Structure 1
Amino acid sequence: MSWSDFYRRRDALDAVLRAAAGDPAAPLTFDRDLFGTEDELLLALHYRWMQQLTGRLGTALEDSDDDRVETVARTWRALAAEQPVLRAVLDAHLTSTEAIEREQRLLALTAGLAELSEPSAEIARVGAAFASLLRTRPAVVPGRHRRLAKSA
């Protein structure tokens, strides 16, 4: 991909998010010359989300002495607050099980709720429970993450 292509794709993603700001659940309008299908578009948007999330998680964990669960929760919520349209579009449209589970595994592993030695499906299951809590609870109570991993 040339720099020209990179900037065209970036600008196209920005345009999709601007158009979706009024109603992120509405059908998405996008340049089909750059993204052949809605799935390709959504994977590109998810990639944008994951790039930002992984970078912020790395920095947050390095800079914090707080509980890992709380640090991951605070970081995810902060990014969701900064990128509400991106998060809402992904929540409304992303159906790629692989992409969704990738994010769930990242959350579970980074928060210390699962270990790499566990089966991938189990890690994703724990991550899904954690992601659900991120969306519904104002804060994760430190010390409760041990029960989440076992009961999720």
Structure 2
Amino acid sequence: MSWNTYYQRKHAIDAVLDSARRDPDRALDTIPSPFADAGELLAALQHKWLQQLGGRLEVALTDAERAPHGDRVEAVTSAWRRAAAANPALRAVLDHHAEHPALRAGATAENRLLATSAGLAEEFEPEHDATRVGQAFQQLLRASPPPAERRGRTGVLRKLLAPSR
């Protein structure tokens, strides 16, 4: 990718996110150049999200390792929430288009990243299992109240992860 293409893509993404701040449901009504279609644009937006999340995860996990009673689940929860709070338009567009086929691979990668980073799954586990754990964890962190109001999250997480009968 040339610098020219990089900056064209960056400006297009910025324009889409500006539009999303006004109306996330209509942010992709017009696909800006140089993107060929909504799938390509959504994949770029998801890449941006994973970069934002990944940076925050790295810092949070490093801090948790240094803390006397560091909690990886808390660190990952905090990192995800900080990334979402810092990127509300990006999160809104991705959430609105969550079922788009272009987002499947990235969503799977994000769920595995969350599960392994929180210590809820190991990297060598089957992809399906780690993805399922990450999905459950993400549902929980999206639905649970802020940290000061949270109690018994581990029990809720275990219920979400219980095998289907």
With the length of structure 1 as denominator, give the TM-score of the two structures. 0.90
- Does structure 2 conserve the Cα–Cα contact (< 8 Å) formed by 1:70 and 1:142? no
State whether structure 2 residue 108 is matched by structure 1 residue 101: yes
State whether structure 2 residue 162 is matched by structure 1 residue 151: yes
Q: How many aligned positions are there?
A: 151
- Does structure 1 conserve the Cα–Cα contact (< 8 Å) formed by 2:111 and 2:132? yes
Match of 2:127 among 114, 120, 123: 120
Give distance in 2, aligned partners of 1:141 and 1:112: 19
- Give 1:50's aligned residue: 50
Select the structure of larger CA radius of gyration: 2
- Does structure 1 conserve the Cα–Cα contact (< 8 Å) formed by 2:113 and 2:134? yes
- Give 2:74's aligned residue: 70
- Displacement, 1:30? 2.5
- Give 1:85's aligned residue: 89
Percentage of pairs with the same residue: 46
Question: Which region of structure 1 is more displaced relative to structure 2, 131-140 or 98-107?
Answer: 131-140
- Give 1:25's aligned residue: 25
Gaps of 5+ in 2: none
Give distance in 2, aligned partners of 1:55 and 1:142: 28
- Displacement, 1:26? 2.4
- Does structure 1 conserve the Cα–Cα contact (< 8 Å) formed by 2:50 and 2:110? yes
Structure of greater relative contact order (alpha carbons < 8 Å, 6+ residues apart): 1
Give distance in 1, aligned partners of 2:141 and 2:118: 12
RMSD of aligned alpha carbons:
2.0
Give distance in 2, aligned partners of 1:14 and 1:76: 21
Match of 2:138 among 131, 139, 150: 131
Cα deviation, 1:7-64, whole Å, max 9, x if unaligned, reads 1111110000101112212251221x31111010000000001011111111111123
Gaps of 5+ in 1: none
- Does structure 1 conserve the Cα–Cα contact (< 8 Å) formed by 2:121 and 2:130? yes
Give distance in 2, aligned partners of 1:84 and 1:13: 14
Give distance in 1, aligned partners of 2:133 and 2:159: 8
Give distance in 2, aligned partners of 1:68 and 1:107: 10
With the length of structure 2 as denominator, give the TM-score of the two structures. 0.83
